[in-house]
């Protein structure tokens, strides 16, 4: 999996030759100093590579084409040091196929009131240069992020950092394969959608793999590898002695779960996949009561939990959109504190102003959000084609603020729905041994859940403690998809008005393309 250190953000400075060669030399040296300053700030996850000044239409065109073709380059930052006549950017912008960040800053911080002369002015012209550039981007309907702020300020650097992470995750999604083991859960609408349109708009490709093919990987897993993985489980999770007993029934169940994890990982690696889905109604055709049975005893929940933590996208019941989105959430939050997980709206807890939603799944919750050391437990799971004992990690999640998101297919567009949530302290569930979180959606349970339902949001979502809504704004801008954000200021009246306006906007937008 590509690491941030292998990626680059390119920086190009807009200028022109009107002010003479000396000015361009100075502009070049200022730009280098700024790029070095940003790279040395410690606040940017991906290095910025300075690509020089662009002083003509030809130079702009060259840099845009090069950025679009370079696989290390995940995005481009432009800054108009001087007035850079924007007609010069038209052809280049037509060739740019990477995310764009327009930085409105200035080399010099404060006006040197007593000494400022025309030479100083010529070297600190972004106040009007960036407006000229902004105009042509708006005129051409170029999607981009505009960051305004002094380049040495932490706030400015952090906004660039957010966009850098999203741009990297976008690049990751353009080369993303999601494997579905089995199909969608029958009759479910919200987790399905147009896979062709998903590839066109969002980049990722979705294939299926018959469970019978996965079983071939399962059969090839060697006992020594299973034993080593079980030893790893016992070292990092809390495990009761009856599970550890090699002659016990529970140990056999954990053995099968470890074997499933090794089989799925091997299959994903051999296909170059970054995410997968499962379906509890499709676990292969062998009879579990046959003494020679070889296969999954239940859904491979422990495998899904651990593979999510490793960065593989996951969606339950064939939910490929959630699998892809989870991978994106995990990818863009690499190295940040917090954690992320696929989650499902499980059951409601009415409690006045503290009314909340329990988030869980049958098994598949990512241990990255755990508050305490996860417990490896074995319990009966009576859903799907196999009703059997199965292994899972059990924990509750950390209290704290987070953001959850989902993508739905509205027929004429993809809609990203984002909700700020407050995770509150959950309580033990002795009779429901699954991992869980408990949250209050913003602005409160009634409006948050009401807006989500009016927007057509799924019962599955991808949650993270580490991201802010700004990540999703940047993602939706790059993808060119609709985003509805439910936050502390949301009202049902305003939200419905926004959805009605959007309906017209996207209808026209589609008709124009």
Binding site for Mn ion (CB under 5 A): 316-317, 344
Beta bridge partners of 76: 10, 100
Nearer to Mn ion, 61 or 344 (CB): 344
Q: What's the closest the beta carbon of residue 344 comes to Mn ion, in angstroms?
A: 5
Q: How far apart are CA 401 and CA 424, in angstroms?
A: 9
Cα–Cα distance for residue pair 479/473, rounded to 1 Å: 10
Residue 444 Cβ, how far from Mn ion at the closest point, in Å?
25
Q: Which of 158, 93, 141 is nearest to 509 (CA)?
A: 141
Least Cβ distance, residue 319 to Mn ion (angstroms): 7
Looking at beta carbons only, is 316 or 473 nearer to Mn ion?
316
User: How far is 459 from 50, CA to CA, in rounded Å?
Assistant: 44
115 vs 187 by CB, closer to Mn ion: 187
CB of 467 vs Mn ion, minimal distance in Å: 22
Q: How far is the CB of 489 from Mn ion (least distance, A)?
A: 30
- Which C-beta is closer to Mn ion: that of 453 or that of 508? 453
353 in helix, strand or coil?
strand
Give me the helix-helix angle, 154-173 and 469-479, nearest 10°.
Answer: 50
Contact 375, 500 (CB under 8 A): no
Please state, in angstroms and rounded to a whole number, the distance separating the CA atoms of residues 81 and 55. 11
Q: Nearest Cα to 486, choosing from 428, 422, 438, 430?
A: 422
Find the shortest distance in angstroms from Cβ 362 to Mn ion: 7
Instruction: Calculate the alpha carbon distances from 24 to 20, 103, 356, 485 in Å.
Output: 7, 19, 59, 43
Q: Which residue is nearest to Mn ion (CB)?
A: 316
Residue 477, burial from CB neighbour count under 10 angstroms (0-12, 13-18, 19+)? middle
Residue 182 Cβ vs Mn ion, minimum distance, rounded to whole Å: 14
At closest approach, how far in Å is the CB of 434 from Mn ion?
Answer: 12
- Find the shortest distance in angstroms from Cβ 61 to Mn ion: 49
Q: Which residues contact 113 (CB under 8 A, 6 or more apart)?
A: none
For Mn ion, the closer CB: 13 or 298: 298
Whichever of 344 and 474 has its CB closer to Mn ion, that residue is 344
Closer by beta carbon to Mn ion, 316 or else 451: 316
* 221 to 45, 177, 245, 273: CA distances (angstroms): 37, 23, 22, 19
19 or 342: CB nearest Mn ion: 342
Q: What DSSP character marks residue 214? A: H
Between 344 and 377, whose beta carbon lies closer to Mn ion? 344
* CA 330 to mean position of chain CA atoms: 6
| Closer Cβ to Mn ion, 297 or 344, answer by number | 344
Cβ-contact 24, 15 below 8 angstroms: yes
Residues 6+ apart with CB under 8 A from 223: none
Q: Shortest approach of Mn ion to residue 281 CB, angstroms?
A: 12
The residues, any chain, with a CB within 8 Å of residue 503's CB and separated by 6 or more, are none
Neighbouring residues of 508: CB distance < 8 A, sequence distance ≥ 6 = none
């Amino acid at each position: 999996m590509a690491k941030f250190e292998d990626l680059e953000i390119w920086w190009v400075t807009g200028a022109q030759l009107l002010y003479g060669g000396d000015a361009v030399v100075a502009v070049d040296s200022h730009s280098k100093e700024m790029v070095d300053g940003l790279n040395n700030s410690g606040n940017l996850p991906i290095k910025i590579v300075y690509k020089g000044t662009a002083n003509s239409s030809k130079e702009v065109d060259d840099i845009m084409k090069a950025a679009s073709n370079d696989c290390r380059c995940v995005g481009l930052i432009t800054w108009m040091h001087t007035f850079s006549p924007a007609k010069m950017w038209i052809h280049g912008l037509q060739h740019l196929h990477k995310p764009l960040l327009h930085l409105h800053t200035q080399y010099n911080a404060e006006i040197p009131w007593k000494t400022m002369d025309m030479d100083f002015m010529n070297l600190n012209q972004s106040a009007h240069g960036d407006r000229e550039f902004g105009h042509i981007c708006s005129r051409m309907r170029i999607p981009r992020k505009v960051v305004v702020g002094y380049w040495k300020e932490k706030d400015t650097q952090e906004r660039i950092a957010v966009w850098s992470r999203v741009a990297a995750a976008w690049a990751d999604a353009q080369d993303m394969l999601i494997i579905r083991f089995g199909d969608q859960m029958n009759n479910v609408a919200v987790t399905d959608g147009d896979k062709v349109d998903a590839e066109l708009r969002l980049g990722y490709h979705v294939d299926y793999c018959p469970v019978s093919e996965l079983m071939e990987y399962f059969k090839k897993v060697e006992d020594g590898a299973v034993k080593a993985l079980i030893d790893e489980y016992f070292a990092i999770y809390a495990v009761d002695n009856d599970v550890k007993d090699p002659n016990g029934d529970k140990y056999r169940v954990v053995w099968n779960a470890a074997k499933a994890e090794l089989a799925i990982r091997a299959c994903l690696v051999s296909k170059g996949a970054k995410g997968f889905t499962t379906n509890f109604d499709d676990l292969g055709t062998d009879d579990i009561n046959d003494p020679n049975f070889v296969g999954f005893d239940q859904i491979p929940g422990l495998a899904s939990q651990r593979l999510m933590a490793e960065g593989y996208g996951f969606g339950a019941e064939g939910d490929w959109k959630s699998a892809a989105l989870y991978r994106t959430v995990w990818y863009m939050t690499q190295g940040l504190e917090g954690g992320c997980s696929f989650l499902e709206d499980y059951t409601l807890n009415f409690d006045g102003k503290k009314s909340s939603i329990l988030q869980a799944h049958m098994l598949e919750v990512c241990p990255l959000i755990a508050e305490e050391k996860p417990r490896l437990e074995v319990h009966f799971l009576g859903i799907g084609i196999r009703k059997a004992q199965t292994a899972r990690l059990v924990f509750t999640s950390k209290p704290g603020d987070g953001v959850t998101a989902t993508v739905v297919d509205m027929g004429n567009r993809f809609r990203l729905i984002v909700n700020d949530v407050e995770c509150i302290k959950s309580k033990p569930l002795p009779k429901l041994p699954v991992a869980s979180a408990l949250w209050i959606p913003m602005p409160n349970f009634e409006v948050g859940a009401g807006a989500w339902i009016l927007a057509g949001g799924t019962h599955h979502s991808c949650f993270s403690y580490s991201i802010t809504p700004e990540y999703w704004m940047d993602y939706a801008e790059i993808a060119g998809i609709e985003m509805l954000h439910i936050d502390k200021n949301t009202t049902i009246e305003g939200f419905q008005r926004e959805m009605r306006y959007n309906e017209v906007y996207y209808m026209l937008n589609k008709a124009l393309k």
